[in-house]
A and B are shown apart, each in its own frame.
Chain A
Amino acid sequence: MGRRSLGLLFLLVVLVAVCLASIAIGSKEIPLSGVWHGLFTPTGAEDDVVIRELRIPRTVLGIAVGIALGVGGALMQGHTRNPLADPGILGVTHGAALAVVLSIFLLGVNSLVGYIWFAFAGAMIASVLVFLLGSAGRGGPSPVTLALAGAAVSALMNGLVSAIVLLDQQSLDAFRFWQVGAIAGRDLTVLTQVAPFLFAGLVIAAFNAPGLNAMSLGEDVAKSLGVDTGKTRTLGILAITLLVGGAVAACGPIGFLGLVVPHVARAFTGPDYRWILPYSALLGAILILFADIVGRVVARPSEVEVGVMLALIGAPFFIFLVRRKKLVKI
């Protein structure tokens, strides 16, 4: 077994451990026997309900979103060849935000479940728009035009969101709860609605990895190796849109994770995307669950949002890693 396979196995073990911890630890203290009881012989007692209705959905959602954002982020950085490209750079996050704000402002939609399809549609539209803009100049979609088109579209949509929110107090009030981005307080129907898209995104991503490897040598080299660069890029962007759009629709915008996880993965795997993608998936799930657990216990009895904890825990670790490791460039 190679070093990288062992590492993957190790991450899998860590993920299982973090999952169990995520079920066992919370702002309400439940003894381990109670956790066992809730998992396997539930009777409907208060602790059982907490475990089955709150912590398990939250954990499963965390895993799904962590995987989606990790893989989406890795694909994004690969296709734009830009270390600054977070998975939202294609406009996905801000497109979803604009759609949600419009649904609140114009249609009076007012529930987290109600936002899902608006968010997903907004993410899709923004992503298609960026892709068309990025491919419009001569030479088709290049990393630089894609990144710039994404930044421009995101900024435009963000401006529109701020304008609506600043002018309409009621929209601000509803929107800020969506904008926080959390894996708590959502039941599993949220996940079942976006799961098909996340799954499709993961499958496409898996087939995208070899082509992405060739393309990171440069477009010309990839072409001479027989890779259809246009198709590879289009499929990659489709995968990113499905993964990140699904994640944003389910949980709202969760920043930082998709930006950082691929860099961490790359530090251990080297530049091979067939390894970066699974590493990113597992690291993403582990990191988001870990941050969520810490967020539950640092401010008992209240909780700190997972996004805040991700940055506070993740950033120092990330900077430490960046300073120590010999960097693998994109």
Chain B
Amino acid sequence: MTTATKTPASPAAKAPALRLGAASFRLRRRPLLVVAVSLVVLAALLVVDIMIGDFPLTAAQVVDTLLGGGTRRDQFVVMELRMPRALTGLLVGGALGLSGAIFQAIVRNPLASPDILGVTWGAGAGAVSVITFAGSLGVVTGSAASIGVPLAGLAGGLFAGLLVYALAWRQGIEGFRMVLVGIGITAVAGNFTHYLLTVGDVQDAGRAMVWITGSLNGRGWEHVVPVALALAVLVPVALIGGHVLGALQFDDQTSRGLGIRVNVARSFLIVVAIVLASVATAAAGPIAFVALASPQIALRLSGTAQPPLFGSVVIGGALVMLSDLVARTIYRTELPVGVVTAVLGAPYLMFLLIRSRREARV
């Protein structure tokens, strides 16, 4: 635990401290402000997202309906169609953002994300296997599509992530080796997925392409619940476990000297990040760029030394929800959300890169 009583000369001493029994946290103003502002923005975005669509609603109607009022048509549109979809986007984005923040902090590399550490393409290989083989066998139809594909994605992501972790273990876990093993596993899983795309028939390949791009199309409450449960458990766990991330940014000996059990702490956080990314990918497919960009955007907004965990959750959620709003309204047909996340997120990250006045760090 960090102590709040620093020497008066330290600039950190200006920050007020929060004490809970033996534990104490420093409260920095700017990150807190960013969180507060973005929560408000997030709520506003949620309302706007629900307002817009084939049946336009006013903000008052949306709020009224959410509080239990509204006509039956409004109830149906809001509670059955738009709300679950918006919430899935929000939660999936949050989970991806948090997972990316943890990976980037542990590996100390801004390019590290679940995409590179095996999870994304592992999930892709699992889900596309089911789409291709179940499709060509003609055995499984409705239930396989709605339950089998996400389950296979979850299993594939967890398996690939844990495989990378296990193969990288060599008397302890270390970021650099994990990254290299992740490159290898990602290459195998990615190419296997591309191979599957050429094996199946065209319609299956098309469905698989949409899944690989990441889509929120037709997501209902059954997609919201698992991600919400995972987040409800893992976000607090990550926030509590994440207090060691600041110490882990030094080399191993320094971290040990600060009293951190390096391998235990890393392993714990890595497993949390793998589970978060797998659950999110299972629900909406591997949505590109969110896990990589959200922590970097949050870091630049809050001015901290490392990706702020909660900030990354909020930015990730906002990015995916906003992208889905664009994806489903910009063109006659609905685009997969994964197409838009990069197109929206990349220019913003570039803007922050250009504007940043200090030397960039991870």
Contacts and interface: CB of A to CB of B under 8 A. Distances in A.
A30 interface: no
B292 interface: yes
Interface residues of A, number: 48
Contact of A137 (B109, B181, B354): B354
A170 interface: no
B306 interface: no
Contacts, number: 147
A82 B354 CA distance: 20
Nearest to B346: A156
Contact of A318 (B184, B331, B349): B184
Contacts of A149: 350, 353
Given A84-B179, A322-B177, A159 B349 contact: no
A315 B177 contact: no
A86 B361 CA distance: 20
Overall SS of chain B's interface: helix
Interface residues of B, number: 54
A152 B349 CA distance: 7
B229 to A, nearest CB: 30
A190 interface: no
Residue from the set B170, B289, B338 with the largest chain A CB neighbour count within 10 Å: B289
A134 interface: yes
B296 interface: yes
A142 B353 contact: no
B336 A84 contact: no
A40 B324 CA distance: 62
Nearest to B170: A323
A166 B339 contact: yes
Interface string A147-175: 11101110110111011001100000000
A130 to B, nearest CB: 10
Interface stretch (A48-56, A60-68, A255-263): A255-263
Contact of B191 (A139, A312, A318): A312
Given A152-B293, A308-B191, A167 B331 contact: yes
A312 B194 CA distance: 12
B32 interface: no
Given A142-B359, A255-B187, A311-B187, 7 more contacts: A133-B350, A144-B361, A144-B362, A148-B349, A151-B110, A159-B346, A163-B343
